[in-house]
Amino acid sequence: MKRAEEETYREYASARIDQLRRVAYLLCRDWHLADDLVSIALVKLYRHWRRAQRMESLDGYVRKILVNSWLDEQRRPWRREQAVEELPETPVLDPDPDGGALLALLNELPARRRAVLVLRFYCGLSVTQTAEMLGCSEGTVKSQTSRGLDALRPLASRLETT
């Protein structure tokens, strides 16, 4: 990579780090791991920068790298979390008024379901875009969204009433 290209890369990465950290944190709920994931994603982006910078949706490409990096992390046995497939009907909510309950509930979701919710409702992607990013069908995205929202609904109701 030439110096001018690297400067372009540096400008782009500097401007996106904060947003990428937030997405990564929503996925993994650990700031240290979030920073690691962002670093991994940016190294991969650097490797493909010449091709990537010509893409129509560069932000989407970077998010895809980030999400896939996190999913890869999840597959590693020593990283594997105890995911709960079915949540209790009445979850115990964290009374933290700063939104800890939302994050706690998000944390209870299986990895891909969490990724679907973050991509759909935080990154604002459509069903089609989310399906393309995760490499699954649109039906899967819809069902994962529905189940994820079911899990979050008690919290959403509470947020609406406060």
Partner 1 sequence: MQQNEFDHAIGTPPPSRVDLDTVIVKGRRSQRLRTWGMSGGLAVAVLAATAGTGLWLNAGPAPADRVPAGFAAPTAGSSPMPPAPSPKSTPKAPPTRATPSWTPPPPPAEGHRLTKEEAAQLTTTLNTALTAVAPGVQVVAGSGKVREEQALSFRTGAHTNPAAIGDLRDQAGEGAVGFEVTTGTGPYLCADVAAAEYDDFDQQTDCVESAGPAGERILALTHSDPKGTTVYLGKGGKGFLVLVLRADGTMVKARAWSASFSKIDMHSNPQTPFNATRAEPPLSIAQLTAVALTPGLRYTP
By residue count, the chain amounts to: 162
Q: Which stretch binds partner 1 (CB under 8 A): 4-12, 58-66, 71-79, 134-142?
A: 4-12
Count of Cβ atoms closer than 10 Å to residue 74 Cβ: 18
Residues with Cβ within 8 Å of residue 120, at least 6 apart in sequence: 126, 127, 130, 141, 145
Q: Which stretch binds partner 1 (CB under 8 A): 2-10, 63-71, 79-87, 130-138?
A: 2-10
Nearer to partner 1, 43 or 80 (CB): 43
Q: Among 117, 24, 35, 102, which Cα is nearest to 66's? A: 24
CA distance 81 to 68: 17
CA-nearest of 96, 97, 79, 87 to 28 is: 79
Assess 1 for contact with partner 1 (CB under 8 A).
yes
Q: Which stretch binds partner 1 (CB under 8 A): 62-70, 72-80, 127-135, 149-157?
A: 149-157
Helix (H), strand (E) counts: the chain: 8, 0
Provide the minimum distance between the beta carbon of 38 and partner 1 in the complex, in angstroms, as a whole number: 5
Find the binder of partner 1 among 103, 108, 132, 138 (CB under 8 A). 103
What is the per-residue binding string for partner 1 in 115-144, x denoting contact by CB under 8 A?
A: --xx--xx-x--------------------
Q: Interaction with partner 1 in 22-81: which residues (CB under 8 A)?
A: 22, 25-26, 31-32, 35, 38-39, 42-47, 49
